[in-house]
Amino acid sequence: MESNNKNFITDIIDQDLENKTYQKIITRFPPEPNGYLHIGHAKSICLNFGIAEKYSGQFNLRFDDTNPIKEEIEYIEAIKRDVAWLGADWGNNLFFASDYFDQLYQFALILIKKGKAYVCDLSAEQIREYRGSLTEPGKNSPYRDRTVDENLELFEQMKKGNYPDGSKVLRAKIDMSSPNINMRDPVMYRILTEKHPRTGDKWCIYPTYDFTHGQSDSIERISHSLCDLQFEDHRPLYNWFIEQLEIFPSRQIEFARLNLTYTVLSKRKLRELVEKKYVNGWDDPRMPTISGLRRRGFTSSSINAFCKRIGVAKRDSVVDYALLEHSLREELNLTAPRVMAVLNPVKVIIDNYPQGKVEMMEAVNNPEDLNCGTREIPFSRELYIEREDFKQDPPRKYFRLSPGREVRLKHAYYITCQQVVKDPDSGQIVELICTYDPASKGGTTADNRKVKGTLHWVSVEHGVNAEIRVYNWLFKTAHPGKNTGNILDDVNENSLEILKNCKVEPSLSSSNRGERYQFLRKGYFCVDYDSSPDKLIFNKIVSLKDTWLKIKNK
Ligand code: ATP
Ligand code: MG
């Protein structure tokens, strides 16, 4: 995995190493297990892992599992799978914030004993009221001056489960008039009679994210704790805890989150799409989740290349989705075998080709990599071509098949359309009667005649049926939710098109799930997880046209 270019974060690390502030570079990826990872998380994973690798340091995977209500084991397993797939190897360094609950409880006792934390009986709503706003200072809680002994006793009773949920909290005693609202006596512990996926019923008080995150970094001796900008205002609080507790001082550095056009990168919003069934699960190929991109056919190397390309910055920006596709296309162009598939077939009969004859046509598997060799494709009298590759009344600059027009069939012969057969009731074209030039095998003729169109085809007798799923943007607008504030208003109802009557060349009958191909002239496709030899299913990954290059060169 590469993320080794220099950036403002590596500049800070270089300084820290030079000043001997830190000896060993340890980074972490700290997901909350409340959903599946998305491409934004990939940016953070590549960054953290890349830095640990660059400095021969250590990379930890730590679950920040402080909220027992929203978390599930399913998410933990999915996250591990995705991080591993991206190539970020955490070795033995898998941790859970919930493993630190005892230690965090001891930290809380230290703060109480120092007179730096107190039990508060205000309700959540009152706490919010007392907190003030950006323009108004907060007010002290009436419980702020409880004695150390009283606080120790009340906190003990909280832990024993002697108070109902929400009736008391433990708060840090900092400064209710601080210009930084995070410093206005933030909550450290709340009562929640809730089973935790990993600690079960052991606790009925749980530390807040703010009281957990920084200390977990310290416990793991994380040297550089890389967060998104939303945590910039929390840094003074994390540093305050570290100073009061006199524990290992991890350095937090903030960077801008990844935003992508035509999608949303927030577990909460993605969960809404799953729960309200706008998509078929977290790994729906339309989702920007790692599992969705994987199922669609994205490679982990192309996601890494993308993350490297976008780099890290301190200011928020929106990256064009086309850049993600460009990174994939660049790779697949070099690696994906070329095959022929007809998505929307119409039959061609080659009138002067002998009945029952079959010729094996040699085809290069990948013109970008001749080491991939060649294969043979059966050619016969009846073929399928793409319905859109024939037009009865061709517009100007239409070089494909039309009455009287000659075109090349890829890897085979030149054919000329002689007659169009239509269904008398519907008027739909059912067959195109053509003739072929037996001397044009392999695409050249005796008189060196040129044709402008080259079509892909599949033999009727030998072709294999397949279902092909074509995806469109999940959202109709580049910035979902921008106008109404509700992303659901911008969902594209036509984001999935299922083509059930496709014909693919016979070599694909032995294709395996997850394999990627270029269907000539049609784009890149991946064998879906649900595919089987009896029923082939492909996902369209991306088209062949690179819209990123167009945007870039504008
Ligand atoms: P979400 O809103 O999607 O739930 P989160 O920040 O709450 O995101 P976490 O599980 O807490 O999700 O994130 C784990 C790590 O991933 C954090 O360090 C966070 O900074 C980082 N991260 C999350 N989203 C992005 C993003 N879009 N770009 C870069 N890093 C991200
Ligand atoms: Mg979060």
Is the per-residue pLDDT at 547 higher than 90? no
> Going by CA atoms, what residue is nearest to atom 27 of ligand 1?
40
Closest ligand 1 atom to Cα of 45: 16
Mutation pick for ligand 1 pocket among 28, 41, 45, 255 (CB with most ligand atoms within 8 Å): 41
Q: What's the rounded Cα separation, in Å, for the pair 358 and 360?
A: 7
Nearest residue to 184 via CA among 145, 229, 105, 127: 127
Whether 384 shows a pLDDT value over 90: the answer reads yes
According to DSSP, the residues that pair with 84 across neighbouring strands are none
pLDDT the model gives residue 3: 46
Task: Tell the residue nearest (CA) to atom 18 of ligand 1.
Answer: 227
Q: Does the pLDDT of residue 2 top 60, yes or no?
A: no
Q: Locate tokens 């999935």: which residue? A: 496
Q: Which ligand does the CA of 38 lie closest to?
A: 1
Q: Does residue 43 line the site of ligand 1, with CB under 6 A?
A: yes
Shortest-distance ligand to the CA of residue 34 = 1
**Mutate-to-test residue for ligand 1 from 28, 34, 39, 44, highest number of ligand atoms within 8 A of CB:** 44
Contact 508, 341 (CB under 8 A): yes
Contact 405, 394 (CB under 8 A): yes
What's the pLDDT score for residue 554? 64
pTM of the model: 0.94
Q: Is 41 in the pocket of ligand 1 (CB under 6 A)?
A: yes
Cβ neighbourhood burial of 284 (10 Å; 0-12, 13-18, 19+): buried
Least Cα distance to 486 among 473, 471, 475 occurs for 475
Helix (H) or strand (E) holding 156: helix 148-160
The class that CATH gives domain 267-337+466-552 is mainly beta
Q: How many CB atoms lie within 10 A of CB 257?
A: 17
Ligand 1, atom 29: closest residue by C-alpha: 257
Burial 509-524 (b: 16+ CB within 10 A, else e): eebeeebbbbbbebbb
**Is pLDDT above 90 for 548?**
no
Q: Give me the percent of the chain exceeding a pLDDT of 90.
A: 93
Tell me the pLDDT tens digit for each residue of 410-445: 999 999 999 999 999 999 999 999 999 999 998 788
Give me the mean pLDDT over the 540-546 stretch.
93
> Per-residue DSSP letters for 56-69?
T-EEEEEE----TT
CA of 32 to the centre of ligand 2 (A): 6
pLDDT of residue 1: 45
Measured in angstroms, how far is the CA atom of residue 67 from the centroid of ligand 2?
A: 11
Per-residue pLDDT for 215 more than 80? yes
460-472 pLDDT per residue, tens: 999 999 999 999 9
262 in Cβ contact with 478 (< 8 Å):
yes
Q: How confident is the model at residue 4 (pLDDT cuts 50, 70, 90)?
A: low
Between CA 362 and CA 477 the distance in angstroms is 45
Q: Which residues surround ligand 2, an ion (CB under 5 A)?
A: 32
The ligand 1 atom nearest the CA atom of 268: 4
pLDDT at 287 over 50: yes
Active site residues: 32, 257, 267
**Backbone torsions φ then ψ of 245, nearest 5 degrees:** -90, -10
Contact criterion met (CB below 8 Å) for 47 and 255: yes
pLDDT at 133 > cutoff 80: yes
Q: How far is CA 6 from the centre of its chain?
A: 25
CATH tag, 8-255: 3.40.50.620
Using the 8-state DSSP alphabet, how is residue 506 labeled? G
Are 299 and 238 within 8 A, CB to CB? no
Ligand 1 centroid – CA 44 distance (Å): 8
pLDDT tier at 546, thresholds 50, 70, 90: confident
> Of all residues in the chain, what percent are helix, strand and coil, respectively (each to 5)?
30, 25, 45
Determine whether 327 is exposed, middle or buried from the number of CB atoms within 10 Å of its CB (0-12, 13-18, 19+): buried
Among the CATH numbers 2.40.240.10, 3.50.50.60, 1.10.287.130, 2.40.50.140, which is that of 341-456?
2.40.240.10
Max Cα distance, the chain (Å): 103
pLDDT digits (tens, 9 = 90+) for 345-383: 999 999 999 999 999 999 999 999 999 999 999 999 999
What number is the average pLDDT over the span 97-110?
98
Nearest residue by C-alpha to atom 25 in ligand 1: 40
- Cα separation, 204 vs 160, in Å, equals 8
User: Is residue 254 pLDDT above 50, yes or no?
Assistant: yes
Residue 266, ligand 1, Cβ within 6 A? yes
Q: How far apart are CA 200 and CA 301, in angstroms?
A: 38
Ligand 1 pocket residue status of 290, Cβ below 6 Å: no
What is the structure's pLDDT at 71? 74
Tell me, what's the pLDDT at 5? 75
User: CA of 65: how far to CAs of 70, 76, 150, 282, in Å?
Assistant: 9, 9, 30, 20
Among 436, 336, 423, smallest CA distance to 385 is for: 436
Confidence of residue 550 (pLDDT cuts 50, 70, 90): confident
Contact 299, 514 (CB under 8 A): no
Give the long-range contacts of residues 241-244, CB within 8 A, separation 24 or more. Answer: 241/107, 241/111, 241/172, 241/211, 241/214, 241/215, 242/214, 242/215, 242/218, 244/110, 244/111, 244/114, 244/116
Mean pLDDT of 514-521: 98
How many Å lie between the centroid of ligand 2 and the Cα of residue 498?
35
Domain boundaries, the chain: 8-255, 267-337+466-552, 341-456
d(CA 288, CA 261): 11
Same fold, 267-337+466-552 and 341-456: yes
User: DSSP secondary-structure letter at 300?
Assistant: H
Closest CA to ligand 1's atom 3: 266
Cα of 31 vs centre of ligand 1, distance in Å, is 7
